[in-house]
Structure 1
Amino acid sequence: MLEYTLCNELLAEEGTDLGAQARIARDLGYVGLELAPYTLGPAPEEADARAIRKTVEDAGMRITGLHWLLSHYPDASITDPARQAATRSRLLRLLDLCAALGGEVIVHGSPANRRRPPGMSDADLVASLAEFFAPLAARAGELGLSYCIEPLAEAETIGDVGEGAALVRAVGHPAFRTMIDCSAAGQVEPPVADLIRRWVPEGVIGHIHANDTNRGAPGMGTDPFHNTVAALIETGWSRPIGIEPFRTLVDARVTAATGIATLRACEGALR
Structure 2
Amino acid sequence: MRFALCNETFADRPLADGFHLAAEIGYTGIELAPFTLGDPAAPGGGELRDARQLSASDRKKIKAAATDAGLEVVGLHWLLAKTEGFYLTSPDPAVQQATADYLAALAVLCADLGGKVMVLGSPQQRNRLPGVSLEEATDHAATVLGAMLPVCEDRGVTLALEPLGPAEGDFLNTAAEAVALADRLGSPACRLHLDVKAMASEPTPIVDIVTANAAHTAHFHANDPNLLGPGMGEVDFPPIYQALEATGYDGWVSVEVFRYEPSPEEIARISYANLVAAG
TM-score (normalised: structure 1)? 0.92
Match of 1:188 among 178, 194, 202: 202
Instruction: Note the C-alpha offset of 1:45.
Output: 2.5
CA–CA distance in structure 2, aligned partners of residues 34 and 5 of structure 1: 7
1:45 aligns with 2:52: yes
CA–CA distance in structure 2, aligned partners of residues 189 and 241 of structure 1: 23
Instruction: Note the C-alpha offset of 1:74.
Output: 4.4
1:20 aligns with 2:32: no
The residue number in structure 1 matching 2:98 is 86
In structure 2, stretches of 5+ residues that fail to align are 39-47
The residue number in structure 1 matching 2:69 is 59
Q: Which amino acid is the alignment partner of residue 150 of structure 2?
A: A
CA–CA distance in structure 2, aligned partners of residues 164 and 54 of structure 1: 34
Question: Which 10-residue stretch deviates more, 209-218 or 84-93?
Answer: 84-93
Instruction: Note the C-alpha offset of 1:118.
Output: 3.5
The residue number in structure 1 matching 2:124 is 112
The answer to whether the 8 A contact 1:22-1:56 is kept is yes
1:150 aligns with 2:162: yes
The residue number in structure 1 matching 2:6 is 7
CA–CA distance in structure 2, aligned partners of residues 109 and 227 of structure 1: 25
What are the within-5 Å matches in structure 2 for residues 193-208 of structure 1? 193-200=207-214, 203-208=215-220
Deviations 1:53-101 (A, max 9, x none): 0111011111110000111124321111322111222111111100000
Match of 2:177 among 153, 163, 168: 163
The answer to whether the 8 A contact 1:207-1:239 is kept is yes
The answer to whether the 8 A contact 1:131-1:171 is kept is no
Q: Which amino acid is the alignment partner of residue 163 of structure 1?
A: E
Percent sequence identity is: 34
CA–CA distance in structure 2, aligned partners of residues 18 and 66 of structure 1: 15
Query: Aligned-pair RMSD on alpha carbons?
Result: 1.4
Instruction: Note the C-alpha offset of 1:121.
Output: 3.8
Specify the SS of the correspondent of 2:213: helix
The answer to whether the 8 A contact 1:22-1:32 is kept is no
Specify the SS of the correspondent of 2:128: coil
TM-score (normalised: structure 2)? 0.90
Match of 2:31 among 23, 26, 34: 34
CA–CA distance in structure 1, aligned partners of residues 85 and 272 of structure 2: 35
In structure 1, stretches of 5+ residues that fail to align are none
